[in-house]
């Protein structure tokens, strides 16, 4: 992978202010007519998907809806890729490049708290627990937008110079224990077949201003791995701590020491890092110092080149802090996602295409964020551009909006048209006709 310095953050801010304002040119009258015809159906699809969310690798109904739609457009359709994934292939009327467009399909174990008339009341089982299920990250809109893009592009297939692969991916929200997440599994199962895309594009709902998209060159979203720590001491009576080794106290010292890694050991500019311990379990009785304590957490990083150094520091900190008290500690770090990195040259081409279609004022830049996205695995195999589209209602700031994964996460549905137009813009920039 190429070296991307986080200084691209500063460059992205500068790119937000073009020298000359550029107004939207839109698309050809024929494509505009197709967009207008498709918009009501896109909203209907989104509401149906929102009411019927499915967890990772359980997207059976969603896959069936998607596959039926792609077949109605006379595409070549493959199902069962990565268990529930769907791929549609649209071949244009003229020769040209191959590109791919991707949407993720899975929902989250979150109980919806909003008052939408189409709110989710679905329930399921996650980690052995009965849970509510909700599209709390906007994947329902991603699927509906890509279905709409497929409709618009298929209606103009004879004018297209190239081939478009529509990838509907399961299990973006995390790999099952011991398994692969959706992007890695689709790649392992030869998602593109004999075709070789020159680029892949994806988008994500984000609680920013409606009617805008945000394109960030270089590292855009973090790598995210799971951290498991087991601290072993020596069990004893709570009244006689000197007779044993207290793994709870040692664990507290480890948690504090881990925070010195991002704050004192890593370059805060070129290597932003987060180490979070989200679970700690130890002991069964108030007056017994236990034998072991187990902790789980997440590690986030933006610079791909610092990963091994970061993890060596984590292992050293945990084991040596434990050893200083006479305890032992085992550290396991499980890869969940690598950083999402937009190649600057491909990002700028996509930005220009989006600006032509939406107007330069609608195409924003910003800072990288620390959530993760397994679209990064597609980017590791071929050039890929990932971007956010804003979903807040007018007048609602990002600070006031519910974040992704929140039970009150909300999408202003008119914003989906911006997402659709952006996806059409980056696709048509490669396979024509031009906007």
196 part of the active site: no
- 276 Cβ contact partners less than 8 Å away, ≥ 6 residues apart: 297, 298, 299, 300
Distance (Å, whole) CA 213 – CA 121: 30
Distance (Å, whole) CA 208 – CA 211: 9
Distance (Å, whole) CA 120 – CA 372: 25
- Distance from chain centroid for Cα 338: 11
Helix axes 29-51, 60-72, angle to 10 degrees: 160
- Distance from chain centroid for Cα 396: 23
Q: What DSSP state is assigned to residue 314?
A: H
Structural element, H or E, at residue 79: strand 76-81
Provide the Cα torsion 89, 95, 97, 102; round to 10°.
-20
Distance (Å, whole) CA 53 – CA 140: 8
Helix (H, G, I), strand (E, B) or coil at 304: helix
- Return phi, psi of residue 285, to 5°: -150, 145
Beta strands, E only, 181-272: 199-209, 213-214, 218-221, 223-232, 236-237
Closest CA to 216 of 102, 302, 136: 302
- 303 Cβ contact partners less than 8 Å away, ≥ 6 residues apart: 4, 6, 219, 270, 271, 272, 339
Query: How far apart, in Å, do the first and last CA atoms of the chain sit?
Result: 32
Residue 370, preceding bond cis, omega within 30 degrees?
Answer: no
Q: What DSSP state is assigned to residue 264?
A: I
- 376 Cβ contact partners less than 8 Å away, ≥ 6 residues apart: 183, 221, 223, 337, 338, 339, 340, 341
172 part of the active site: yes
- The single residue of 54, 104, 140, 172 carrying the catalytic annotation is 172
- The single residue of 58, 106, 225, 373 carrying the catalytic annotation is 106
Q: Which residues are catalytic?
A: 106, 172
């Amino acid at each position: 992978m190429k070296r991307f310095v986080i200084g691209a953050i500063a460059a992205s801010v500068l790119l937000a202010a073009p020298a000359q304002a550029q107004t939207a040119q839109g698309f050809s009258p024929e494509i505009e007519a197709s967009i207008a015809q498709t918009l009501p159906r896109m909203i209907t699809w989104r509401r149906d998907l929102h009411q019927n969310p499915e967890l990772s690798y359980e997207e059976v109904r969603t896959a069936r809806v998607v596959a039926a739609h792609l077949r109605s457009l006379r595409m070549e359709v493959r199902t069962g890729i990565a268990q529930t994934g769907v791929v549609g292939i649209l071949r244009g009327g003229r020769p040209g490049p191959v590109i791919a467009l991707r949407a993720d399909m899975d929902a989250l174990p979150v109980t919806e708290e909003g008052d939408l008339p189409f709110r989710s009341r679905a329930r399921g089982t996650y980690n052995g627990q009965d849970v509510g299920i909700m599209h709390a990250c906007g994947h329902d809109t991603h699927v509906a937008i890509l279905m709409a893009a497929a409709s618009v592009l298929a209606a103009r297939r004879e004018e297209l110079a190239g081939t478009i692969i529509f990838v509907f991916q399961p299990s973006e929200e995390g790999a099952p224990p011991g398994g692969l997440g959706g992007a890695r599994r689709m790649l392992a199962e030869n998602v593109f077949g004999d075709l070789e895309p020159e680029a892949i594009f994806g988008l994500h709902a984000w609680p920013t201003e409606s009617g805008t998209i945000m394109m960030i060159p270089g590292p855009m979203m973090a790598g995210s791995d799971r951290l498991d720590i087991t601290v072993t001491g020596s069990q004893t009576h709570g009244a006689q701590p000197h007779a044993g080794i207290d793994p709870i106290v040692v664990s507290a010292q480890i948690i504090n020491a881990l925070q010195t890694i991002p704050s004192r050991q890593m370059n805060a500019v070129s290597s932003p890092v987060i180490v979070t311990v989200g679970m700690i379990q130890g002991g069964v009785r108030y007056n017994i110092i236990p034998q072991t304590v187990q902790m789980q957490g997440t590690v986030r990083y933006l610079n791909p080149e610092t990963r091994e150094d970061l993890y060596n520091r984590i292992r050293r900190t945990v084991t040596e802090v434990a050893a200083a008290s006479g305890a032992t500690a085992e550290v396991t770090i499980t890869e969940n996602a690598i950083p999402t990195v937009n190649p600057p040259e491909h990002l700028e081409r996509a930005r220009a295409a989006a600006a032509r279609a939406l107007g330069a004022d609608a195409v924003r830049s910003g800072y990288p964020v620390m959530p993760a996205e397994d679209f990064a695995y597609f980017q590791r195999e071929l050039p890929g551009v990932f971007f956010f589209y804003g979903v807040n209602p007018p007048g609602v700031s990002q600070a006031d909006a519910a974040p992704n994964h929140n039970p009150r996460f909300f999408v202003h549905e008119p914003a989906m048209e911006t997402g659709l137009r952006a996806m059409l813009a980056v696709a048509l920039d490669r396979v024509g006709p031009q906007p």
